[in-house]
Amino acid sequence: MQAAVSKNMVESLSVPTFRVGYLVITDALDAFHDTVKPKGVSVTMTALLAKAAAMAHVQHLQAVKMARASRTTVTLTLQWQWQSMLDLYLLSKKWKELVVKARAKQLQPHEYNSGTFTVSNLGMFGVDRFDAILPPGHGAIMAVGASKPTVLADKDGFFSVKNKMLVNVTADNRIVYGADLAAFLQTFARIVENPESLKL
């Protein structure tokens, strides 16, 4: 496994990449996660973020260039359209099945080697921010940090405390334009900050 990681890291050095960071308010997503957890199916925060990313991709034709074959890998490969429309609980169930297979080293090649967009979530370890290394053949990788209380000022100068997480995306500059990635991240943030659509 370490040899494969090292090989990917060396291959990634030949790709011209750029990075974009975006702060996302997560109060609504945190509350939404609390409401969907007790339904008998473990809905992880990573599954919610993956669905939000898929929904954002569907709304941006230019951003689909990031997913050359219109697919996403969130360690595991799922089609954008399918993932974005899939019921949240069914998505979480499928996700869990694939994670179990991955841990048992039973994944088939088509389940892990055709992804072109990755969500890497280290937030559960308390990591504030990190830059993920772009896997070979991928258009972009999203690095998600922990959600932390942050003091914010509104346009009228009033202060409040809100939970925010930093999302850093590393992208292949040959196939992803900065403006397209920024628009995608705005839509992603809007979905995360108004997460009711994730139930659909």
The stretch 35-60 carries a mean pLDDT of 82
Cα–Cα distance measured from residue 68 to residue 28, given in angstroms and rounded to the nearest whole number? 31
pLDDT-derived band at 70 (thresholds 50, 70, 90) equals very low
Rg (CA), the chain: 17
pLDDT score of 76: 40
Q: Find, among 98, 101, 140, the residue nearest to 119 by Cα.
A: 140
**Residue 158 contacts residue 12 (beta carbons within 8 Å):** no
pLDDT tens digits for range 142-172: 999 999 999 988 888 899 999 999 999 999 9
With a cut of 80, say whether residue 107 has pLDDT above it: no
pLDDT score of 60: 77
> pTM here?
0.82
The stretch 116-126 carries a mean pLDDT of 87
Fold (CATH) for 2-195: Chloramphenicol Acetyltransferase (3.30.559)
pLDDT tens digits for range 91-105: 788 878 888 888 888
Alpha helical stretches, state H, 18-132: 27-36, 45-58, 80-85, 88-103
